[in-house]
C-alpha cells in the first residue's frame, strides 16, 4: 500500500460521512483504518469539523460547475488535489476537454491505483473527462519554472482550484505560489482557494490549530481578507465567503462553526 498523508485519508472519511452535503459518493472508497482513526480523532476534538470539510468542498465544486456550464470554461486544474474525486463523478466534468491533478508522486500513485480499481469493478463506469496526473512539489524552489513548463494550454481560460493548502504553507511560499498563478494563467481564468481568517488565530476558534496538529500538520498562515485579496496580483476578487455563512446554504440546522473563508477570483 502506498504511504500517503493520514490527513488526506481523514478528510476523505469526513466527506464520506457528510455525503449528503459533500456529494462525494466515491470518498468512502479511499477510507481505511488509518483515515477513519484520524477523522475520529478530529471529531473527538471538534464535532463540527466534518461540516467544515463538506461545506468547503461542496461550495468549491458548485462554483467550478457554474463557471464550466455558464461561462463555457473547458479546462480545469486541481493543485494539491489530494483525494478529491470531482472529475470522476461530477456532472459538470462532462463539459470539460482537459483536467489535470497536481500532487506529490506518492499521493498520485495511491489515488491512481484506487481509481483504476474502481473502474475495473465498474464503480466508475467511465470518467466524464480524461484526467492527467502530474507530480509536483509546491515547496520546490523551482515551482514557478516547473508549473510554467507543464504540458498545459495556459493560453486558454481555465479553472484553477487550490483547496485546503494555504494554511499549511509559510506566507512567503504561499505568496510565491500565488504569484506564479498570476504570472502564468490566462485572462478570464478563475482561481478558487481557501484560507484561515486572522481572527481564528486570535482565539475565536483555537480548536482548529489543535485539530491540525493532531493530524501532524501545523497551521502557518492566517490572513485578513485584505491581505488575502492583496496576494492576488492581476486578479479581481469576485467573492470571499466565510464557511460559517455558507453553512446556511447546505445545512438546515445552522450552527455557525466552520471557520475558513473561500475566495473566487478572476484573472484580469
For the chain, give the percent of residues with pLDDT over 70: 96
Query: Any alpha helices (H) in 23-104, and if so which ranges?
Result: 33-45, 49-70, 86-89
Residue-wise pLDDT tens digits, 140-188: 999 999 999 999 999 999 999 999 999 989 999 999 999 999 999 999 9
Q: Measuring CA to CA, which residue among 88, 83, 112 is closest to residue 13? A: 83
pLDDT at 111: 95
Measured between alpha carbons, how far is residue 200 from residues 37, 160, 184 in Å? 25, 26, 32
Pairwise CA distance, residues 145 & 137, whole Å: 12
How does DSSP assign 3-24, residue by residue?
Answer: ---HHHHHHHHHHHHTHHHH--
What is the pLDDT averaged over residues 243-263?
88
pLDDT at 265: 98
144 with 180: CB under 8 angstroms?
A: yes
Which region among 183-192, 229-238, 249-258 has the lowest average model confidence (pLDDT)? 249-258
Residue-wise pLDDT tens digits, 36-69: 999 999 898 888 889 999 999 999 999 999 999 9
Domains of the chain from N-terminus onward: 6-267 (3.40.50.150)
Residue 209 pLDDT greater than 80, yes or no: no
Amino acid at each position: 500500500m502506498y504511504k500517503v498523508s493520514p490527513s488526506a485519508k481523514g478528510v476523505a472519511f469526513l466527506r464520506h460521512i457528510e455525503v449528503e452535503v459533500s456529494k462525494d459518493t466515491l470518498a468512502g472508497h479511499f477510507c481505511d483504518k488509518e483515515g477513519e482513526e484520524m477523522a475520529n480523532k478530529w471529531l473527538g476534538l471538534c464535532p463540527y469539523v466534518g461540516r467544515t470539510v463538506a461545506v468547503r468542498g461542496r461550495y468549491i465544486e458548485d462554483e467550478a460547475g457554474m463557471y464550466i456550464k455558464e461561462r463555457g470554461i473547458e479546462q480545469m486544474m486541481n493543485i494539491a488535489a489530494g483525494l478529491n474525486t470531482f472529475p470522476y463523478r461530477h456532472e459538470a466534468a462532462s463539459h470539460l476537454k482537459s483536467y489535470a491533478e497536481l500532487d506529490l508522486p506518492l499521493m498520485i500513485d495511491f489515488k491512481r491505483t484506487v481509481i483504476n480499481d474502481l473502474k475495473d469493478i465498474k464503480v466508475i463506469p467511465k470518467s466524464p473527462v480524461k484526467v492527467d496526473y502530474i507530480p509536483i512539489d509546491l515547496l520546490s524552489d523551482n515551482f514557478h519554472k516547473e508549473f510554467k513548463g507543464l504540458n498545459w494550454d495556459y493560453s486558454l481560460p481555465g479553472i484553477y482550484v487550490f483547496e485546503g493548502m494555504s494554511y499549511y504553507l509559510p506566507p512567503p511560499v504561499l505568496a510565491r505560489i500565488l504569484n506564479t498563478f498570476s504570472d502564468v494563467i490566462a485572462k478570464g481564468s478563475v482561481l478558487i482557494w481557501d484560507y484561515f481568517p486572522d481572527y481564528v488565530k486570535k482565539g475565536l476558534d483555537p480548536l482548529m490549530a489543535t485539530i491540525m496538529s493532531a493530524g501532524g500538520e501545523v497551521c502557518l498562515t492566517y490572513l485578513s481578507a485584505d491581505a488575502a485579496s492583496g496576494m492576488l496580483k492581476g486578479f479581481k476578487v469576485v467573492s470571499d465567503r466565510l464557511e460559517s455563512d455558507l453553512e446556511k446554504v447546505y445545512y438546515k440546522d445552522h450552527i455557525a462553526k466552520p471557520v475558513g473563508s473561500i475566495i473566487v477570483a478572476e484573472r484580469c
